[in-house]
Structure 1
Amino acid sequence: MLDINDRENVPLLSKALFLDITAAGKKRIAVGEHGHILISQDGRNWQKTDVPADITLTAVYFQNDMNGWAAGHDAVILRTTDGGRHWRQVYSAPEEEMPLLDIWFADNQYGIAIGAYGLYLVTKDGGETWQRQKMNIVNADSNTDDPDDLTEFYELHLNNIAYSNSGKLYIVAEAGRLYRSDDLGTIWQELPSPYIGSFFGVLPLENESLLVYGLRGHLYRSDDAGNNWVEIETHTRELLTDGFQLRDGRIILTGMGGVLLISDDHGVSFKINELGQRHGYAAIKETGKDEIITVGDYGIETWTKQQLGLADD
């Protein structure tokens, strides 16, 4: 085990780059550079796993406490069926030089992985095989399906994919592109965008509400599944990277420069919380009753709600 407070583990746990964190049952799983996948039962003691890829991993997703997938550079995809203790490589395409940036599964069989330059992969057998496809996009601006008119869509970096409780799937991309699918990815509609800069995350909320966020502190809210948008003041120009809604309904967004944005009104407004350091946060997850984990360029950090200014009243 690697104790987060043990000085011998500081180079890995507090200096290595980690890019995503998730929970699978009682386990916490973090992924990052050099193929690092760490597992913890308590958020403080971490165990290295045997990974068949020495390459940066950018995303991890678990469908349940046993079945999970990780994705990263060289379009590599890893699969585990034992809760993350062992991993197998099921896909890679290093010759294309297209990193995967996110991965999502609807169930134990159907999944989508997205990445740079429009990379879009689909599996229907639990990730054992993957097919590269073009997003079937309905261009809301020109209402055309002419491939020549849609070339630019297929060259964009697809940064984040997320599923809403209302059954809609969202993808955010560079150049202000936003997409929604009402049928789990068979057809995508380009949504009207309030911003021409890159979006790095989308956080679906209750009903048809969602948040999108990205460069220079830009944050927008929609209450009608992405058809109309309102800008939210963030009081920062830092890049916003990830978001999570806590069990109590409060929302946290992470960013570069040690920025955390906190909402007590279900994402209508946010206050900024700077923790006194310049850590770049890549991802955040609530992993216990009073445990929140962030990962980024300073490794893995485990917080209580009080430490983040979220103590219950």
Structure 2
Amino acid sequence: MIKTSIASALVLFCTSVSAQVAPESALQVQHPERTLFTDIVDNEGTLIAVGKHGTIVTSDDGKHWQQAQVPVQSLLTAVTSLSADKSWACGHDSSILFSSDKGQTWQIQQFLPQQQKPCLDIEFIDPNVGFAIGAYGMFYQTEDGGKTWHKRFIDDFVHPDDKDYLRELKEDDPQAYEEETQFILPHFNRLLTQQQQLFLVGEMGLVAQSLDMGKSWQRLDEFYPGSFFSVASYDDEEIIVAGLRGNAFIANIDNLEFRKIKTPAKATINSLVNFENKTYMLANSGYLFGYEKGEVDSSQLSSGHAILSAVTFKNKLVLATEKGLKTWEAKK
């Protein structure tokens, strides 16, 4: 998942600059916690953050960070954990990494720089079944914990007439089919599992729902034409989607009739996190918009650095920003 317009620009950058065919290990640096970070997760008391040039760092206290051994130098965009021995990260070069030791060391499960497509989010619904999504409709699925990843083309988002054409093309000319479908779909930016359903958001107002764990998808009627970078649960009954220029919407999970949330600034919202009974929208220019029961308040980092992600840790938020990792505590 890329979380900001900064990272979105890097999506475009990757289409013109290809990584080496063979991966190179991330460089070990003196202060790895000061670079661009795109995502962060709490793995049973150990924080794992991923970011620029294949940098992955871990911490048990949110203050002192250790750099992990990572076999790629690709920009990493997302990280997820199910347990101490099961973490995954993904990023540019269609890279997918796996760690069995709380993020200390990582192994490559997939690395396809020739595709020039970044993976933008990765989620697992159990130790075996997971999804990796990204630019131009990238959609990979695994049923063995990532040992093998299978590419899928989600034709549910294609016009019915085009479906027939693509079906015939796949049978008659598989190579032409691959070329035709390479850039036909929008970017898939973020994936959410909620109440045995999957929600997918992305470019050009894409909000889609799957009731069968990704086997089929239904795109919701468009209610906003811009890109969404994040989707998250607000409570057990509602979800929030958010994206460009501070646009955010909330809906009941049963009817999915989205209504607008008024935010106090037009800063692109990159990620959502639940903290102290609020859902915080983490945005460019250092904004944190706190949503609770229809009301929105606003805080801002003095640095103004874009916030790409965050995680609740020891009664504080640990923020992944464009200039490193920071802790933040809500004002009482």
TM-score, normalised to structure 1's length? 0.87
Output one character per residue of 1:60-111: Cα deviation in whole Å (capped at 9) or x when no partner: 0001122010000000000111221221001011101000000000111100
1:264 equivalent to 2:292? Answer yes
Match of 2:312 among 281, 286, 289: 286
Q: Which residue of 2 aligns with 1:98?
A: 117
CA–CA distance in 1 between the matches of 2:326 and 2:299?
Answer: 16
Partner of 1:3: none
Equivalent residue number for residue 63 of structure 2: 44
Identity %: 31
Matched, 1:159 2:189: yes
> Hey, what's the Cα distance between the residues in 1 that align with 2:31 and 2:161?
51
Partner of 1:108: 127
Distance 2:306 2:236 in 1: 31
Q: CA deviation at 1:145?
A: 7.4
| Paired residue total | 290
The structure richer in helix per residue is 2
In the alignment, the residues of structure 1 paired with residue 250 and residue 268 of structure 2 have an alpha-carbon distance, to the nearest angstrom, of 17
Matched, 1:252 2:280: yes
Quote the residue 1:297 is aligned against. 322
Normalised TM-score (structure 2): 0.82
Please tell me whether residue 147 in structure 1 is matched to residue 166 in structure 2. Answer: no
Secondary structure of 1:257's counterpart equals: helix
In structure 2, the partner of 1:4 is none
Aligned residue number for residue 40 of structure 2:
21
1:186 aligns with 2:212: no
Is the 1:210–1:225 Cα contact (8 Å) retained in structure 2?
no
Asked if 1 retains the 8 angstrom alpha-carbon contact of 2:32 and 2:57, the reply is: no
Give the equivalent residue in structure 2 for 1:210: 239
Distance 1:225 1:160 in 2: 20
Report the Cα distance in structure 2 between the residues aligned to 1:145 and 1:286, rounded to whole angstroms. Answer: 47
The match for 2:152 among 133, 140, 154 is 133
Give the CA deviation at 1:154: 4.5
> After the TM superposition, which of the residue ranges 51-60 and 204-213 deviates more from structure 2?
204-213
User: Which segments of 5 or more consecutive residues in structure 2 lack a partner in the other structure?
Assistant: 1-28, 167-180
Task: Give me the whole-angstrom Cα distance separating, in 1, the residues matched to 2:146 and 2:182.
Answer: 28
CA distance in 1, matches of 2:97, 2:220: 31
Q: How many angstroms does 1:176 deviate by?
A: 0.4
Cα shift at 1:30: 0.3
Pick closer, same or farther for the CA change 1:257–1:138 going to 2, 3 Å: closer
- Does the C-alpha gap of structure 1 residues 284 and 225 become closer, same or farther in structure 2, counting only changes over 3 Å? farther
Corresponding residue of 1:69: 88
Does 2:251 correspond to 1:232? Answer: no
Which whole-Å CA distance do the structure 1 matches of 2:200 and 2:140 have between them?
13
Partner amino acid for 2:290? Answer: I
Contact 2:157–2:185 (CA<8 Å) still a contact in 1?
Answer: no
Q: Secondary structure at the match of 1:63?
A: strand
Q: Are 1:138 and 1:145, in contact at CA under 8 Å, matched by a contact in 2?
A: no
- Tell me if the contact between 1:135 and 1:154 (Cα under 8 Å) persists in the aligned partners: no
CA distance 1:148–1:19, change in 2 (3 Å): farther
Counterpart CA distance in 2 for 1:208 and 1:264 is 14
> Residue deviations 1:165-222, cap 9 Å, x none?
x221111010001111111111111012210000100012323311110001101111
Contact (CA 8 Å) 1:192, 1:226: kept in 2 or not?
A: no
The CA RMSD over aligned residues, in Å, is 2.1
C-alpha deviations, 1:101-148, integer Å up to 9, x for none?
000001111000000011100011100110110125267xx7x47516
